[in-house]
Structure 1
């Protein structure tokens, strides 16, 4: 590198070329120190190389996106072919046929076994239930991304001499700023990925001779870089679960403000000698503005009508919200919206909360239905402002509705969405199992209603043959939240000759809790190492049949039928179920008059047995949908992976594949 230094004792004479070296430089001489620093920061060639590697980064991203798109559209084509095959009444439409289809199914099964596995602990203390270890697929993706960025950073980047670390710093800066458009693109699609690149900073021994002070006093790069890094570090730390749970609304607002601060700091950090590097900032700014404009346009369209929200309290500190007269007419099952209720007072006009749509476009006459659990902040105010009577949920045309119209509280609602619902089409599978915990029922019930409506009203036969629906709640009575929806969905599925089984599992129902001090064996899957579980225990044989509504373990079909008759005669609202599906033979299964299509059991579900029954009887690919606590999703992931490995899916045994979609809340 050519370098001209003033004064004597320079690293090299004027006109000579070679690696920059501090040898012979008198750093006590301000002129020599300044000249050496100028030569050290001379990075014209380094900027060209860094810009090239920034382009290589985007070449790699384009290749990965292209490969993912090919597999995605191939999968969509496969599902569409299944639906068409079912419409033509072909046998086993969900089973792959042909060499290419079987090869694709084998590759998919292997990829699922690798990526589905989750090592998040099943049971954690209540204060640590937010803790989660990403699934193996997410970990592999992040590690691959990090490896790719590090390879771009260190490949052919060993500049000899004093500019060794300068070269690495310049290229790291280019790679860092090149990722900005990618982050904005991901945010614009509502995919919250945190992509963090860490490049260690090391200093050379000669920085102790006063160059550090000179650099900070003459160059804006260090302080602005540290400011940008501080913003970036805080954004990543504040996305951790404990901070989000502390105050979700505050988290959203501070995250947006911090991001804008990060953009400003990066703009100041980029050197004026490389203005073309700011293109990687202008592009994400433009993308963000376009995304905001599109969202505002859609927000205006979605709220062009005055949307009215009726809220009703439910048992279990939950609130059912019904939105009528909305402009939204189409959304996918499992979609969610940002819901705002300006009439709640306080900062209600500026607060939004994500809520999954329980209804489908045709299930409730076009109304949007939500169920929110009251915690604190926005959801707590919703619960406190809700109507006490369930008559508020009746449609406006209902005669009973007119009698209570004056007493019903109605709020103005603002919607932003819908978003999500990008899972695969559950109707294209042979067998489907939907598992929910608490208010995760909003996702699985939306999928169930969609399957029922398409099976009954679609005019085309579906590949779907069996549906298993499991809901875990603390008390059985909470099933009244959705009793009408479940009853209607089951009737439609049975009308279409689809085998359907509904199981409601109560994990802590006081009406069924064993009061004895010693834990009882009741067929549940509870961990009794901590003490008695909140599950139903078999009654004493002496007076078990003397009480109306007695719950008895069902060990055989004949005994079940006999028990059902006796119990039903004494209490029509409670009867033992004769169907062992989704439960073990030795546990109590009950029937409720207000939801006769479902079996009621106590204790946590035996997920492995449920999945075994689903997969062994499948005549094609199965699908499992889960929405609930993090631990539930992790447990299902592990069972699916282990069963896939044990059964050697698509590896010559004839066992069919299993698709898994997990959505979790905290």
Structure 2
């Protein structure tokens, strides 16, 4: 800006103003970061299987956020000077106000989370717990920057809601589901029907949030809202059972001998004690009560019209998952919109 002639010094205003706004933004963000992490809390890190890690941040000053919000999560124990975006799967009313995340292992930070010998093998208590989760040896400090984003539309205002998730995209969808369930228990909502479609590689992945899902669907049904869950097992084409599918995946986890997960050419699933048996029983009970497991991939061109037939008013659709799933939902919704049928669509992506 110093190349400007002396007769045009007033034009420097257009440079100083953006600089001042940027510095103000940095100052506010830094102040919020310090405030959010000024209270010393603990973080429970639990490997769910050989792919994902469930994280619960307790005692954070972050107490309010909208469904679908995300934060920048930093845990120096697993990665120095690293911050990773993570969608908040819980709501301020669930999990006693704690922040719950589900991270899929890739490289670096997320891989360290899954393979670190210091993580806890204690199962996280779900939305209906009475006390805090205990985590001997698995508690570390986490720093939260946020929350950011969140849902702008109110899905409670629709007659029918369709939630679609692919793999760990369930974190975004679950926050909406928990919010609707909590509100349905307090007041009468226009919502009449809700359906959740979740595509996973193996039906065992239902255990990621089995207790949260069971509690949410029970609350919705108690409020007179017709709610259903369809889990699509994409690793099973129907010709083999789930046990064969797990063997083909080449993954095995044994959290009792070092809290580690590994992948091999041919895996053998071994018993993991009472905690694992309890989780297995809970998962099977959950499936039996409200979840319908379907082999294969979800065909959105058939599912969305099916849901539309039951809708007596506007339909709200939210999807979070791989690009192919989101594209299929977008295309089907675009073809289904008519002058008599309005559809609200919210698409959340994995990209960053």
**Contact 2:52–2:114, Cα closer than 8 Å, also in 1:** yes
Give the whole-Å Cα distance in 2 for the aligned partners of 1:422 and 1:274. 45
| Aligned-residue offset at 1:304 | 1.9
Give the whole-Å Cα distance in 1 for the aligned partners of 2:301 and 2:82. 41
State the match for 1:379 in structure 2.
110
State the match for 2:245 in structure 1.
none
Within 5 Å, give how 1:353-372 maps onto structure 2.
353-372=84-103
SS at match of 1:305: coil
State the match for 1:483 in structure 2.
210
Q: Which of 156, 160, 163 matches 1:434?
A: 163
**Contact 1:423–1:661, Cα closer than 8 Å, also in 2:** no
Within 5 Å, give how 1:429-578 maps onto structure 2.
429-456=158-185, 458=186, 460-509=187-236, 514=240
Q: Deviations over 1:592-612 (max 9, x none)?
A: 434321000111112122111
Within 5 Å, give how 1:259-338 maps onto structure 2.
267=1, 274-338=8-72
Q: Which of 138, 144, 149 matches 1:420?
A: 149
Within 5 Å, give how 1:162-311 maps onto structure 2.
267=1, 274-311=8-45
Give the whole-Å Cα distance in 1 for the aligned partners of 2:4 and 2:113. 46
**Contact 2:178–2:216, Cα closer than 8 Å, also in 1:** yes
Query: How many residues were matched structurally?
Result: 310
Within 5 Å, give how 1:564-603 maps onto structure 2.
592-595=284-287, 596-603=289-296
Give the whole-Å Cα distance in 1 for the aligned partners of 2:119 and 2:20. 48
Give the whole-Å Cα distance in 2 for the aligned partners of 1:414 and 1:376. 20
State the match for 1:228 in structure 2.
none
Query: Residues 400, 451 of structure 1: CA spacing in aligned structure 2 closer, same or farther, 3 A cutoff?
Result: closer
| Aligned-residue offset at 1:631 | 1.8
SS at match of 1:342: coil
Worse-matched range after superposition: 591-600 or 414-423 = 591-600
**Contact 1:341–1:414, Cα closer than 8 Å, also in 2:** yes
Give the whole-Å Cα distance in 2 for the aligned partners of 1:377 and 1:416. 20
| Aligned-residue offset at 1:638 | 0.7
- The question of 1:659 aligning with 2:351 is answered no
Task: Please give the root-mean-square deviation of Cα atoms over the aligned residues, in Å.
Answer: 2.6
| Aligned-residue offset at 1:377 | 1.6
Q: Deviations over 1:376-413 (max 9, x none)?
A: 12211222227665425249986994xxx5x4221111
Q: Deviations over 1:406-440 (max 9, x none)?
A: x4221111101001114201111110000011111
- The question of 1:340 aligning with 2:340 is answered no
- Structure 2 unmatched ranges of 5 or more: 242-248, 250-279
Q: Deviations over 1:2-59 (max 9, x none)?
A: xxxxxxxxxxxxxxxxxxxxxxxxxxxxxxxxxxxxxxxxxxxxxxxxxxxxxxxxxx
Within 5 Å, give how 1:57-76 maps onto structure 2.
none
Give the whole-Å Cα distance in 2 for the aligned partners of 1:500 and 1:271. 69
Q: Which of 602, 606, 609 matches 2:299?
A: 606
State the match for 1:351 in structure 2.
82
Larger Cα Rg: Structure 1 or Structure 2?
1
SS at match of 1:365: helix
- Structure 1 unmatched ranges of 5 or more: 1-266, 516-533, 535-572, 575-590, 650-654
**Contact 1:618–1:656, Cα closer than 8 Å, also in 2:** no
Query: Residues 400, 441 of structure 1: CA spacing in aligned structure 2 closer, same or farther, 3 A cutoff?
Result: closer
SS at match of 1:361: coil
TM-score, normalization: structure 2? 0.81
> Is the helix fraction higher in 1 or 2?
1
Q: Which of 272, 295, 320 matches 1:627?
A: 320
> Is the strand fraction higher in 1 or 2?
2
Query: Residues 277, 318 of structure 1: CA spacing in aligned structure 2 closer, same or farther, 3 A cutoff?
Result: same
SS at match of 1:376: coil
TM-score, normalization: structure 1? 0.44
**Contact 1:319–1:386, Cα closer than 8 Å, also in 2:** no
Higher RCO (CA-CA < 8 Å; seq separation 6+): 2
